[in-house]
Structure 1
Amino acid sequence: MRKFIMLQLWLGILIIGGYFVYKRTTGKDEYLTPPPASMETVPLEVTLPDNYVKVFELPDTLSFAGEPVPLHMTDVRERLDREIHVNSYWHSSTIFLIKRSNRWLPLLEELLKENGIPTDFKYLSVIESGLENVVSPRQAVGFWQIREGTGNDFGLEINREVDQRYDPIASTAAAARYMLKAKEKFGNWTNVAASYNMGMKGLADELEEQKTNSYYDLLLNEETSRYMFRLLAIKEILEHPKKYGYDIPQELLYPVIPLDTLRVTEDIPSLVDFAQARGLSYKELRLHNPWLRRGALNVRKGKSYLLRLPKGHVEVLPTDNQTDALNSGN
């Protein structure tokens, strides 16, 4: 029996081996025949466009507040080159700067003009805060990043109920007063902008020690050394966004919100009730008046405040309950 099983095993091996030899010699084995062209693996070829990583050329000329930037200086060109590329490729941040700029820069430009400040200074608020009411680790606040002492020096009201550093209009006026004072001290707008970063005394000390009157000739700490060049880069990118790869349709930019103003001369015991009496939520009231820091507003004798409200919401809605709420705070 064992011999019979072994004989069958060897017979099976011979038959299978013979089959494969026959197929190989005839070339008819589907497993040994090359696959049709339609089944062949085609190597994937990826061709990157020439401008996949784009290097930007510097503008031939550049100025800030009417003062030329000395682009003939090697280090000036290279420092500007760095900031243009850093900010151009910081995509998410720069996209939102462009979007917010559509809403806020026209207002800031108008306010600066009214206060005798070159409109290029609107870009200073962009690099200071990104046009948001942020608070820095050093407790500098708002669009213009004003610290409490500086705010008090330049006429802002800062207390538990009111902090005008959060008010784009009032804080722009205060920043303009600083700039005018700095212009009297330094004589040119470039130094004014640099002093906004390191303070008037800090810049004055460096100018005196290094015996120059030009920011571009100073050896400074890294932050202030980069400050003017980031300002120039943001100006260049926001004025020529398509050149730097930002082709954002107008409808995707943040629109200007139409607002009216209401002068308040009496206490408002409840800002929630005050807002609701005008068909607004408390959140909406605070969004348009971020300088309000608590739920009520006390108005000293002879003092008044301007509230900004969406169009159509200045007048009190004609219901007795809402009128009572304004007067009582209940």
Structure 2
Amino acid sequence: MTSSTRQVIIFVLGMIAGIFLISQLAFREDKRKPEDEKTEAAAAKAITPPKVPKQMTLFGEKVPLERQEIREAFDRELIYNYYNEGHILYILKLADRYFPQIEATLKAHGVPDDFKYLCVAESNLQNLVSRVGASGFWQFMKETAPGYNLEVNENTDERYHVEKSTEAACKYLKAAYAKFGNWTAAAASYNCGMGGYNGAATFQRTMNYYDLLLPEETNKYIFRILAFKQILGNANSLGFQLSKDDLYGQFPTKTVTVNGSISNLVQWAADRGTNYKMVKKLNPWIRGRTLVAKPGKTYEIKLPG
């Protein structure tokens, strides 16, 4: 056999071996069964709903969770909020700062502690402005705020004052409780108004919220409050685990009483060892660049402490 013939044979054999190896790699059978692949994919994407408790109270009143339509309405709001993780985490951080103030005011006015969750449902503990102009933690309208002792003008808007707006909410809720005879109805009327709730209750011959067909927003309202109570009140066991360092906490402050106008807030802040930014941050109810005091009225302004 000549040398050139031997080289050709070796080349051909090498080509055959290479083609065989490639075919084995390209077309080898995957030993995993299709059902195994489906199981693995399902496990990776598994989503489980939060459990609806068998029993709950809201505002100290029993929630009839034994009724299917009530349980499903609660389940809907629970799922929606539970899986909005970033939303819940941020509320938990803010709650550490604001819940102590809200809880103390509710207690002082004899209003059930659970109403702090109504505040969450209204504003997520932020000074929001709704599309119709309701503002602050408790979402009071500009026109109705003065009736609850909240001053509103171009320089001052006490809807943004946590303690004072909470006091105003207490005044409303106690009046609604006196009218309807239970706190759940009072809470629902916070959404649709006393007139709206009373009209529906009169037509349907019951004051019981859970027996009433109300506007869709009000139909969901109590269950949204209930969902916040369940999630925020059981955050750790539901997987929302925050350390103390994760929470925002309260700013150390001191209070200065003012009984006259402040024409230059920038200079006023500087004279007291702080700045305009911190005065506005700690006192969001001061809306303008000045503070115009009404005759005989005093204001308490928080400063960094």
TM-score of the pair, normalised by structure 2: 0.89
More deviation, 146-155/203-212: 146-155
How far apart are residue 56 of structure 1 and its match? 1.7
More deviation, 51-60/67-76: 51-60
Q: Does the CA-based 8 Å contact 2:54-2:66 persist in structure 1?
A: no
- SS of aligned partner of 2:301: strand
Which residue matches 1:104? 98
Return the alpha-carbon distance in structure 2 between the equivalents of residues 156 and 126 of structure 1: 20
- SS of aligned partner of 2:300: strand
Which residue matches 1:116? 110
256 and 52 in structure 1: CA distance in 2 versus 1, 3 angstrom threshold: farther
Correspondence 1:172 to 2:166: yes
Return the alpha-carbon distance in structure 2 between the equivalents of residues 173 and 93 of structure 1: 26
Give the total of aligned pairs.
294
- RMSD of Structure 2 on Structure 1 (CA): 2.7
- SS of aligned partner of 1:309: strand
Correspondence 1:182 to 2:184: no
Which residue matches 2:248? 254
50 and 188 in structure 1: CA distance in 2 versus 1, 3 angstrom threshold: farther
> Which runs of no fewer than 5 residues in structure 2 stay unpaired?
none
Render the CA deviation track for 1:265-294: whole Å, top value 9, x for unaligned: 122111111111112110100011111111
Which residue matches 1:297? 291
Which residue matches 1:62? 56
How far apart are residue 19 of structure 1 and its match? 4.4
TM-score of the pair, normalised by structure 1: 0.82
Q: Percent identity at matched positions?
A: 38
> Which runs of no fewer than 5 residues in structure 1 stay unpaired?
1-11, 312-330
Where do 1:7-18 residues align within 5 Å?
18=9
Where do 1:132-211 residues align within 5 Å?
132-211=126-205
Where do 1:272-291 residues align within 5 Å?
272-291=266-285
43 and 123 in structure 1: CA distance in 2 versus 1, 3 angstrom threshold: farther
Shift >4 Å, 4+ stretches: 14-24, 33-37, 40-51
42 and 272 in structure 1: CA distance in 2 versus 1, 3 angstrom threshold: farther
Render the CA deviation track for 1:142-167: whole Å, top value 9, x for unaligned: 00000012211111111111110011
More deviation, 187-196/157-166: 157-166
